[in-house]
Structure formats: structure tokens, C-alpha cells
Structure 1
Amino acid sequence: MPGLTPPAPDERTSLTTYLAQQRRTLRATAHGLTEDQARLTPTAGELSIGGLIKHAAHCETFWTDLVLQHHRDPEPSTGESDEFHLSPDETLAGALAHYAAAAKRTDAAIADIPDLGRVVPVPPGLPWFPAELGDWTVRWILLHLIEETARHGGHADLIREAIDGATLYPLLAAAEAWPDPWFQPWKPGQ
């Protein structure tokens, strides 16, 4: 599979293809990690690759619930979120499976919406949403998911490089078994 998204014939395909690409690269940062490595926080912050994947799944679920108008009460923030950490009973494989399921659900929801300009009400009272904003569009939500996934993919790139020196394209080449890769595929211990 190529390292870049292919050209797309329309806006919907462009947006969903870019979102799929960002998900793919975030998942690739976990390729070949042990459970202990998935929990490592080797940078100045407290982010781990396993925690970022868990958070990305949570984000997709939250935003897809908004699109589908499946409202749920927000979880109170204590400043520290378990959403960014794998608990002792969670595994990297489980976080990846949850992320894949959330992505599949998002893709199905978006495929069933004929107009990306459809209005989605903003839930009132959440401190991270502007109080004066009444709604946004499905298009805006897709763009936000791309932004959010790319941001955390960048975090994961830095964390992975700090763990073992692995970088994205060699990880993709290894994870996807690229034929005739233009990067030497990553191997453990390199």
C-alpha cells in the first residue's frame, strides 16, 4: 500500500480516505510493540502509544455518537484522564480492536449520510465547546476527526522513535509487507 492517499473523485471520498490514512499511520506506530512498550511514556509528557490509540477510539465514538445524535452524559474531567492510559486489564490488541470497531462504525455512519452539510447540534454545557455555537456540520466533524487523528499520530511517531528509533514508513513497510518497499522495513532490534 502506498504511503500517501490516492487521488479521490469527490469531497466525501477525499475526507474519508484522509481519515483512513491517518488511522492507518496511528495504528502503524504500534506495530511490533510489546505490552510494556505500548505503555511507555518516554517523552516529557505522560502519553503512550497504547493510550493514544485508546483515546483515538474514544474520540471516534464520541463524535460518531454526536453525528448519530446518540447523546450521552459527558464524563467529568479530573484533569487526569484514564482515557489516555491503558489500565492493567487492557491490552494493546484490545485497544487496536476497539479503535478498528470505532472506525468501522464511523465509516458506516458517514456512508449513510447523503449530505455532509447536514447540521449536527452541539451538546450544550461542555466546557471545550464554544457556548455560542449551536451546531456544526458532518463535514466539520470529519475534518476535526482528521485533525485529531493526525495530531495524535504525530505524538505517537515521536513516542515510537523514542522507544526504539522506529519511524513511520519503515513501520508501514513492515506492518503491511510492502512489495519492493522504498524504505527498509522495520525489524525488531534495528
Structure 2
Amino acid sequence: MSGNVRPVRDERDGLLAYLAQQRYVLRLAAYGLTDEQARLVPTRSALSVGGLIKHVTATERGWMDTLLQREPPGTLEERTRKYQDDFRLTEEETLAAVIADYEQAARETEEIVAGIADLGQPVPVPKGVPWFPPDVKAWSVRWVLLHLIQETARHAGHADIIREHIDGATAFPLMAAAESWPASPWLKPWQPSPS
């Protein structure tokens, strides 16, 4: 995948392609990191690259639960604890496993969206959630996909900043390394620092 979204066929394809692109650039922030580096919290925030990938995975699955009107698993207390845990990569977790789970969540989203005929289909707004508007009864599937693009892009930006603090790597050199671009006078693919 390159730095730009490919030409799209229609609205559904475009929404899924832009979501896939944002997922990709978020994963790029983890390119070449060790598990230990993916756990690092190098800024004043509590965010790590591995934790951001976990959080966005859980967020995407949560929105698919909302879209399908599935009750999230666990008690409120368990869900709250999981939400907090999803912001960090634990010692028992690996970056590779977290990325694989993110890719599985992406496949699930694409399958769910493929099974919905009308992107204008209403998605009821859950009640009693303080950050959801009380005066809106429903969003649309289209709105949910746009929101996921926004959420993923926001966290991809966070991950870029965190990655730059870890080892100075930035998005395009990481992309060049991940996609095996040749070096050019204006862009050198990222390489790990010699230890």
C-alpha cells in the first residue's frame, strides 16, 4: 500500500479503502519496533505504540458491536478495566500478536460492512453514554465508518509522534522501508540504529 489511497469504485469501497489506509499508517508506526519499544511511553501522555494499536482494535470492534446492536461482553466493571488495559501493551503480549488481532478486526469489519445493503441503515445511538449526543436517535452505517476513519487517523498521528520520540523514525521513511522503496536523494528508507 502506498502513501495514497488507490482510486475507488464507489462510496462503500472508498470508505473501506480510507479506513484501510489509516489502519496501515498506524501499523507503520510500529514497523521495526521490538516488543519493548512498542511498550515505551516516551512522551508526557500514557500512550505507547502497542497500546494505541490495541485501543484502536477494541474501538473498531466496539463500533461493529454498536452497528450490529450486539451487547458488549462482560460486566461494566470488566469492560472498564479492559478499556484501561487496552491502552498498554503488557509484558505478556507481543507486538506481532496485537497487530495480527488488529488485522483480524479489520477483516471482521469488512465482512460486516459487505453484508449491509444500505450504508444509510440506521445505527441506534446507545443511551446513557455521556459522550454520545442525547438528542440523536441514530447514526448511519456511513457515519460509523467515517467515525472509524477519524478515530484511526487521530491515533495514527499519536503513534507517529510516539514513534519519533522512540528512535526518530517518521512516516515516509518507515513506509519506504516497509515497502522496499529504493533510496533517493530526497528520501532514505528507515533503518534500525546499530546497537
Q: TM-score, normalising length from structure 1?
A: 0.92
Q: Distance in 2 between matches of 1:106 and 1:159?
A: 27
Instruction: String of CA shifts for 1:124-175, please: whole Å, max 9, x gaps.
Output: 1122212222211000000000000000000000000010010111111211
Residue 149 of structure 1 aligns to which amino acid in structure 2?
T
Q: Which residue of 1 aligns with 2:119?
A: 116
Written as runs of structure 1 = structure 2, the 5 A alignment for 1:47-126 is 47-72=47-72, 75-76=76-77, 77=80, 81-126=84-129
- What's the secondary structure of 1:84's corresponding residue? coil
Q: Which residue of 2 aligns with 1:28?
A: 28
Q: Distance in 2 between matches of 1:6 and 1:75?
A: 41
Q: Which residue of 2 aligns with 1:185?
A: 189
Q: Distance in 1 between matches of 2:40 and 2:109?
A: 29
Residue identity (%): 54
Residue 28 of structure 1 aligns to which amino acid in structure 2?
L
Conserved 8 A contact 2:182-2:189: no
Query: Structure 1's 178 and 114: CA in aligned 2 closer, same or farther, altered over 3 A?
Result: farther
Q: Distance in 1 between matches of 2:98 and 2:164?
A: 20
- What's the secondary structure of 1:81's corresponding residue? helix
Instruction: Name segments (4+ residues, structure 1) moved above 6 Å.
Output: none
Q: Distance in 2 between matches of 1:135 and 1:29?
A: 34
Of the three residues 137, 158, 179, the one matched with 2:161 is: 158
- Name the count of aligned residue pairs: 189
Unaligned runs of 5+ in 1: none
Q: How much does 1:37 deviate? A: 0.5
Q: Distance in 2 between matches of 1:168 and 1:153?
A: 10
- What's the secondary structure of 2:139's corresponding residue? strand
Unaligned runs of 5+ in 2: none
Residue 126 of structure 1 aligns to which amino acid in structure 2?
V
Q: Distance in 1 between matches of 2:168 and 2:126?
A: 42
Cα-Cα RMSD: 1.9
